[in-house]
């Protein structure tokens, strides 16, 4: 998620946002990891919505988060944007909830 925010900021400064968002839209798979770990600016929320709109029904998107889905509306803060993002995510989604110990921890 940090890289997404950083790349968005760079694309805005360089004036390449449309090119950047179009490249993400065409990718076969986009994975947004660590969703919900840092506050999102309004600009990032709109970019996520745009990415999801462009990819809807065309290519796969995976969002990994430790934040429970029921907390995503509160995390996104803006009810209109939250509704739009959640609608795009849940309309054709498969949800996988993992339980158990982290595989990153050493044994």
Q: Each residue of 16-55: pLDDT tens digit? A: 999 999 999 999 999 999 999 999 999 999 999 999 999 9
Nearest CA-CA partner of 89 in 47, 46, 60, 66: 60
**What is the spatial distance between Cα 94 and Cα 82, in angstroms, rounded to a whole number?**
19
Domain spans, the chain: 2-90
Percent of the chain with pLDDT over 90: 66
Helices 17-26 and 42-55: angle between axes, nearest 10 degrees: 40
**At 40, phi and psi to the nearest 5?**
-110, 140
CATH topology of domain 2-90: Rossmann fold (3.40.50)
């Amino acid at each position: 998620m940090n890289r997404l925010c950083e790349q968005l900021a760079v694309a805005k400064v360089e004036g390449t946002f449309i090119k950047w968002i179009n490249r993400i839209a065409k990718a076969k798979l986009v994975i947004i990891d660590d969703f919900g770990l840092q506050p999102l600016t309004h600009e990032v929320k709109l970019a996520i919505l745009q990415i999801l709109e462009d990819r809807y029904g065309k290519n796969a998107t995976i969002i990994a988060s430790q934040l429970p889905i029921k907390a995503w509306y509160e995390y996104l803060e803006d009810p209109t944007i939250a509704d739009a993002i959640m609608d795009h995510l849940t309309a054709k989604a498969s949800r996988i909830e993992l339980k158990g110990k982290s595989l990153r921890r050493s044994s």
